[in-house]
Structures are given as C-alpha cells and as structure tokens.
Amino acid sequence: MDLEKCKALVQVIDTKSLSKAAKKLGYTPSGLSRMISSLEKEMGFILLRRNHDGMFPTNECLHLLSGIRELLYQDQLLEQKVSDINELYVGEIEIGVSHRYYYDTFALAMKNFSKVYPDVDLKIRHGYSSYLVQELKQHRLDLCIVSKRELGDFQWIPITKDEMLAWIPKNHKLASEDKISVKEFEKENVIFTYPGEDTDNQRVFQKYKIYPHRQFSTLEPYASFAMVKQGLGISMDNRLSAWGMEEGILYKSLDPQEYIEIGIALQSNPSPAVQEFMKYLLPLLKK
C-alpha cells in the first residue's frame, strides 16, 4: 500500500477539503484527486463521499481508517528512529492541553526544545480531556495534559490533584455558603462547558445522579466565567481552569468535595522526538 496515497486520504478526511489537503501536502488538487482515485482502485471501493459540508469517509473507509492512521504513525516512528541514529530529530510533535494553566509551562518547554531541535515542528491545541485522549488513541496527538481517563496501553504520568469547584456569582444567594451541595445544580440555572460531553463536571453529576437544569452552554471556559460573572447561573469546573479568572466570581468547594487527577498521557511507544521533548517538559511541571 502506497503510504503517500494513504497520507493524502487522511489529510482530506481531516481537513474535509481536497484543496486544503493538497495545499498542505504540496500537491495540486487534481494531482491529489488522482492519488485518491488510484487508491480507490487498489482497494476496490469508494473511500470518500462529498456533501455540502465537504469531504467525508465512506463506511468502508471508516472500517480501515484506524489501521491506516496506525500505519502512518509507525512510518513516522521509523523515520524518526532513523533520524535518531543520525543524531538528528525531525518531524512534528502534536500536543493537547486540557487545562489552560499549563500553557505557559508548555510554551517554555517548546522554546527550550526548539533551540536545540529547530527541525521539529511543535503544534499545540486545546480541548476537553476525553476528546484529547481520543485524539491520542487515533494518533492525532503525541501527548496531552488531561484529567485522568481510561487509557488502555497508553502511558500515564501523574502530575497533580486538583479540586472541582462551584463557580458562583458574587451576589448569588449561595455566596455566603462555605461549600455548595452538588444537589444545588438541580435547582439553579447551570452554565455548561462542553454540554453533553464526557467532561469532569459531567462525571461528578453522573456519580451523584444529579440532573442539572441546563440554561446556558458554551465550548469555552472563559465564556462560562463571563456568564457566571453576569449572574446568568452557576457552573462547575476544576480550580486550574479558573486560572487567570480570579476576579469577579466566587469559587466554592463542593459538598461532598471532589478531586481530579491531572497528568500527561502519551503513546506507549513515543517517537525519539517526543522522548526528548519530555526531558524538557517534565522538570518544569515538577517545579
């Protein structure tokens, strides 16, 4: 199987666009289209379908996609091992960050690493923990700092424990309480970050069989902070997610108190570049 054709297929699926994938890989759209057609002939079935939202994998393609991603990951791993033998690190490292508190730490590690290994491209992106872990399992990420999840064979390096907190407007009737009962989330208007997803606060609600009254929702923690500040409702998140947003609302312990474990999740067999990057990152996280 031609790895370049597989790479082209995955890029089209990830970007949902033939032209965007072609630009990223350095091909013309027509050239990339011919590669996909050639791969479809080899496979014996159609791999992509188009609708008004872009390009998407067919059901047949979806059955193969995880295997193709694994094949490309192993190919990149082999290239980096060859480079390692030649004492030259190349390629790229994809990093996921769930807790914004750690952006400065990662940025400093990236800065120090890039001085020594300028040929390694470093990419960083944000998302909630369960989403980033799934990206890791699909080999779209090399490592991520997240709340602990079910990882299977992947590595887990614990960093710290962090408390889950209720976010309360300053003039709210619960403002004088030392702790906020989890049952209050069934009575009050609740602001959800990443509604319907497997987040830390959703796990707390499931643990205590709480069915919150959802009034507002967002995909951005700062937006939740702003809505709480304006008195639209209460919210829940971990303490580190409130970093940089200390003014304007109150943060209260839950009753019962709840904690999450935060750490680094990474591939069980990380590339040489990732192994080297971890030497720059871990000492900073342990300070």
Q: Is residue 58, in this structure, part of any structural domain at all? A: yes
Cβ–Cβ < 8 Å for 97, 124: yes
Compute the Cα dihedral for 135, 137, 64, 36 and give only its sign. Answer: positive
Average per-residue pLDDT for the chain: 92
Q: What is the CATH number of the domain that holds 182?
A: 3.40.190.10
Q: Is residue 245, in this structure, part of any structural domain at all? A: yes
Query: Domain range spanning residue 65?
Result: 1-69
Q: Among candidates 161, 162, 127, 135, which has minimal Cα distance to 266? A: 135
Q: Can you list the positions of beta strands (E) in the chain?
A: 48-51, 54-57, 91-97, 120-126, 143-147, 155-169, 179-181, 189-193, 213-218, 235-238, 249-255, 259-266
- Among 69, 89, 104, the domain-final residue is 69
pLDDT tens readout for residues 36-66:
999 999 999 999 999 888 999 999 999 999 9
* Rg of the chain over all Cα atoms, to the nearest angstrom: 22
- Among 45, 69, 93, the domain-final residue is 69
State the total domains in the chain: 2
Q: Among candidates 53, 46, 55, which has minimal Cα distance to 17? A: 55
- pLDDT over 80 (residue 90): no
pLDDT tens readout for residues 178-227:
999 999 999 999 999 998 899 999 999 999 999 997 779 998 888 999 99
User: What percentage of the chain has pLDDT greater than the value 90?
Assistant: 78
Q: What is the CATH number of the domain that holds 22?
A: 1.10.10.10
- pLDDT over 70 (residue 16): yes
Give the per-residue pLDDT at 35. Answer: 93
Residues 126-140, mean pLDDT to the nearest whole number: 93
Distance CA 217, CA 193 (A): 6
Q: State the DSSP code for 234.
A: B
- Among 69, 95, 117, the domain-final residue is 69
Q: Is residue 140, in this structure, part of any structural domain at all? A: no
- pLDDT over 90 (residue 170): yes
Give the per-residue pLDDT at 67. Answer: 93
